[in-house]
Amino acid sequence: MANIIHIVNGDAIVPILEKSGIGGKIVVWREMLCEGPLDQEVASDEFWKKRYQFFEENFGVSKLAYFDKTIKELLKVEDPPVDAELVLWFEFDLFCQINLMALCAYLLQDYRKDILYSLVCTGKVKGKDKMQSLTDFSAEDFPKLYEKKLKITRDNFLFAEKCWKVFVKNNPDELCKFNFNKKSKFQYFQLAINQHLKRFPAKNGLNQIQQKILEIVNTDAFTKYEIVQKILIWQQSETVYGFGDLQYFWYLDKLNCYCNIIEEKYYLNSLGKEIIG
């Protein structure tokens, strides 16, 4: 098929896909919808307004920069040619799976029967102990992944949209009750939501990530970069968050009230020691 449009969840995949020989146009879905305010109607005016504000206030990303990096890129999948194929390339982690839900909800808005929709989602691999990300595969492996792609139907998109709407409500009781495992083609939705539920506060008011950060700070005197490096190691071995360092620096900054920072090293203050027990 000549008219292939690959939608990838991150820039790291682009050079591998370009070298794979599969061909086609590449669109990067640059968002992190696991964080910040959301709207159930993906790409609506209210949705973009909330995302603009979130990135500007929390990460210093201007409205123009966000438009160029995210909205302008997404516009490339509008009105694809007849008999085109849209291939979604995603991974098993929370970061990816929430973006996948939103993208499916977006594509459903202009669903067309003359378009072939496919999904490549990495995770469990026979013979591998740990879950595999797309970057764990070489360019030579990508055609094999492409061959094993799953066809995504309108019914699949409708289910993903339901999942997205439940996530946006962010009610822990509803998240627990809803069966995210209902469609086998989205085999990692439930895994991602189970991880997300650990971001709700425990009895001491901290969620899993906040607790872990403060526990790391309590073990020794570390710089913010050392703390985030340790969090990334913990994330890879014990969770399926799939977050980048930018998110964890953001989490750490929000915990400054529990720390004293002396010569760029972090130490728990009395409030920090009290809250982690």
What digits encode the pLDDT tens for the residues 182-192?
989 999 999 99
183 and 265 inside one domain = no
DSSP 75-110: GGGSSPPTT-EEEEEEESSHHHHHHHHHHHHHHHHT
The CATH number linked to 268 is: 1.10.10.10
pLDDT of residue 1 exceeding 60, the answer is: no
CB-neighbour burial class of residue 129 (10 A; exposed 0-12, middle 13-18, buried 19+): exposed
83 and 215 inside one domain = no
58 and 165 inside one domain = yes
pLDDT in tens, 252-277: 999 999 999 999 999 999 999 999 98
224 and 101 inside one domain = no
Structure confidence at residue 66 (pLDDT): 97
| Any domain includes 269 | yes
Choose the final residue of a domain: 149, 175, 196: 196
What average pLDDT score do residues 181-202 get? Answer: 96
156 and 240 inside one domain = no
What average pLDDT score do residues 62-90 get? Answer: 95
Q: In percent, how much of the chain has pLDDT > 90?
A: 95
CA distance 152 to 161: 13
243 and 268 inside one domain = yes
- Domains: count for the chain: 2
Choose the final residue of a domain: 196, 222, 243: 196
161 and 188 inside one domain = yes
Structure confidence at residue 200 (pLDDT): 98
| Any domain includes 203 | no
212 and 134 inside one domain = no
What average pLDDT score do residues 243-259 get? Answer: 97
pTM of the predicted model as reported, rounded to 2 decimal places:
0.96
Structure confidence at residue 35 (pLDDT): 97
Q: In the structure, what pLDDT confidence band is assigned to residue 2 with cuts at 50, 70 and 90?
A: low
What average pLDDT score do residues 39-66 get? Answer: 97
Domain that includes residue 244, residue range: 208-276
Structure confidence at residue 129 (pLDDT): 87
Cβ neighbours for 127, distance < 8 A, ≥ 6 positions apart: none
Choose the final residue of a domain: 161, 196, 231: 196
pLDDT in tens, 121-172: 999 998 888 999 999 999 999 999 999 999 999 999 999 999 999 999 999 9
175 and 233 inside one domain = no
Phi/psi zone of residue 11: left (φ > 0), alpha (ψ -120 to 50 degrees), beta? alpha
